[in-house]
Amino acid sequence: MAAGHMPRKRKSLLAVKAVAPKETGALVSVSELPKVEALGVELRQSSGIAAPVNVQTGELSGEPFRILHDLGPDTKKNIETITGTLQKLRKHFGWNKVIGCSVTKALMENLTEDNDGDYQTRRAKVQELLRRGLNKRGQVAFFHVEIHTVGAGYNELVWGDSRATDVWRKKTILVITLGRNIGAVLFNDGRRVRNSPLNELYTSSRQASLPSDAGDYKFVPPSPGSDSFDEWASLLDDYLAEITGAVPTGLDRVVLVPTGRIASTDRAISQALMEPECLAKTKELAAERGADMVVATAEEEVNIVRGMALDAIFELQISQARRALDGVLNDSKILQHLSEVQLEAIFDQMDVDGDRRLQPDELQRALALLGLERELEKLVEELDTTRDGEVSFNEFLAWWRKHVMEARCVVTTSAKAWQSIITNVNPPLNLGQLVLLKVTFTFCRSCRAFEPKWRKYSEEFRDIRFVELVGNGTIGAMEFSTKELGVKVSPAFFMFRRGEAGGELIEQWTGANPERFESHARCGSAWSERQVELPKERDPSEKSCSEVFDVKLLCCFDKKLTLAGGAFILPGERVRLLENDKAFRAAFGRFPAQSLNGYTAEKASRRGQECIIERAYNDRTITCVFADGARLDFPNEVVDGYSDIE
């Protein structure tokens, strides 16, 4: 019966304050995660508990909150009860962002009427039921449901006893949760084997329920030393041995994670399970396969909550990657550039057996799972460059980069992916050396309104590569946007010239004003290296003004007035003409005003504009190219003849 229908009011309980983990184990790429925080939720037959989690540190940013409830034989009432509990947990924290929610096998059975045994089908059905219940009172940004075993596994490898690198790096770890039912999840090199048959066999269809004298809706573990415990342990041993033997790959560690009432009791059960005579079959089989077996320390009841918060953020990352893959497969005009870490996430979802290679049937099943359409034979031919009938991750990575690198307009949520673009000094022939970076945010209305013009401009200015960075797309993107680029207004635009050291910023502006955008973009096009050829060689004794002063001729960068002072003016120097006569006199105050002849009168309309030096002559004349394509000759009197200036 739901808490809302009960004659007596049941109180919500606060759990004990959780201790923050000290390490982050298998979570090796925090900067690539799309969000920092998520609400982790654990739903069981008798209660629900939740807490917001910072996945960078594993710390809880709020006290765990628990709500008690009762379930019965009426499926409809059970759904009302569970969605009500979930809504109350969300309301308690005022949460509308990312939510990761764990459910048990028993709970899934009480929320659905069919018993088809298909784990993915049942999980998706429960997720949809709970999502609809949540969204009745406001939309949630992202909501994901998974069996509680997944949350336990992530917690174990990231913050638990198996977090040490030498435990999981290039190792296969089997995590098994122990409660009324048995769940199993496989991790390879710290990554979850997403489509492992263990989920199908031992979490849903497998009737591995362990005996209990507490009724149909509660499970009470037997006490160690009793006859019922020996019976329970013997049955458990049979199930665990079968699970361990079913792992299709090599095995390095088996981790037993007590959950539910087993975890909430004292350590007696965990200690009894590790006694030499207990679970003998499983221990022997694990040893034969070269694996050790451990029982995880049941320190706090929020471990699954913490793991589910991280799982939800991983799933959000995959959801974003899926949309990017969809764009490539369907020849979208704007593609999303993913980092290697993000690509690994989507590759892992397609890799059924976790061997880091895709067979054609795996690829076909993955495309169906992702909801993508593409002719399989043609796709395999594109991917399988070694023609060995399989697709390795390196082949998948090369295929992806080929498609994205050749795209004129790309979107990325990764600061690392941006670096791979700007440091690529040998882009495809159809792309130039200039890259225009647009920084946007998902909550920016003007950014969304500017999107059609952005696509139009990407076709108009074809000598410039257009890249959009979603500033709040990942943790790393947010830090790069706000700390390195200093973005305070969006959309923000940055024109770079490619370079192995991270590129050279040559122009920046903000706002969605089309006239301003076109002016700056034309200036960038005029500065393209295809319009201004730099000298291949010069006398070593010649030094440009930027080499002498680390500044540009006639420039006003960073509020500094600069002059050449005896340096040669070389083609390729980018300059900004001084704004007015007063600025000139501030710089050249002790020199006759006639030295400014030719600038103050004839070229007055070009004051303050930026240009690039196309030619420089010894006869005191330089040719400047402006953003509108105009080429004007200026006298060089301001420089030549004043080499004594300090």
- CATH numbers and ranges of domains, the chain: 3-151 (3.30.420.40), 161-303 (3.30.420), 331-526 (3.40.30.10), 545-635 (no CATH)
Query: Which pLDDT band, with edges at 50, 70 and 90, does 88 fall under?
Result: very high
Q: Are 161 and 296 in contact (CB under 8 A)?
A: yes
In sequence order, the β-bridge partners of residue 466 are 409, 436
Give the residue, 435 or 402, on which the prediction is more confident.
Answer: 435
Lowest mean pLDDT among 71-80, 347-356, 483-492, 544-553: 544-553
**pLDDT tens-digit readout, 97-135:** 999 999 988 898 889 876 655 677 788 889 999 998 888
> Is the alpha carbon torsion for 326, 330, 333, 337 positive or negative?
positive
- The most confident of 24-28, 227-231, 362-366, by mean pLDDT: 227-231
Query: Which pLDDT band, with edges at 50, 70 and 90, does 214 fall under?
Result: very low
Q: Please tell me what DSSP assigns to residue 73.
A: S
Q: Which helix (H) or strand (E) element contains residue 311? A: helix 303-329
Give the residue, 506 or 49, on which the prediction is more confident.
Answer: 49
| Residues 571, 612, 598: CA angle, nearest 5 degrees | 95
Query: Which pLDDT band, with edges at 50, 70 and 90, does 19 fall under?
Result: very low
- Give how far the C-alpha of residue 534 lies from the chain's centroid of Cα atoms, to the nearest Å: 40
Mean pLDDT of 607-635: 63
For residue 43, the one-letter residue type is L
Joined together, the tokens standing for residue 251 give 């095995």
Joined together, the tokens standing for residue 498 give 């490619």
Joined together, the tokens standing for residue 384 give 């399988």
Q: Are 261 and 269 in contact (CB under 8 A)?
A: no
Count Cα atoms within 13 angstroms, Cβ side, for 43. 35
Give the residue, 300 or 473, on which the prediction is more confident.
Answer: 473
**pLDDT tens-digit readout, 365-407:** 665 554 445 566 666 777 777 888 788 888 877 776 666 555 6
- Four-point Cα dihedral 451, 456, 460, 462, nearest 10: 60
pLDDT at 58 over 80: yes
Q: Are 24 and 298 in contact (CB under 8 A)?
A: no
Share of the chain above pLDDT 90, in %: 19
- How far CA 542 is from CA of 546, 567, 635, in Å, comes to 12, 7, 20
- How far CA 550 is from CA of 397, 468, 575, 587, in Å, comes to 40, 31, 13, 17
- What pLDDT shows up at residue 28? 60
Give the residue, 267 or 258, on which the prediction is more confident.
Answer: 258
Q: Are 491 and 444 in contact (CB under 8 A)?
A: yes
Q: What is the DSSP string of 174-198?
A: EEEEESSSEEEEEEETTEE-TT-HH
Nearest in space to 346 (alpha carbons), one of 400, 382, 416, 309: 400
Give the residue, 9 or 622, on which the prediction is more confident.
Answer: 622
Beta strand spans in 458-516 (E): 464-470, 492-497, 504-510
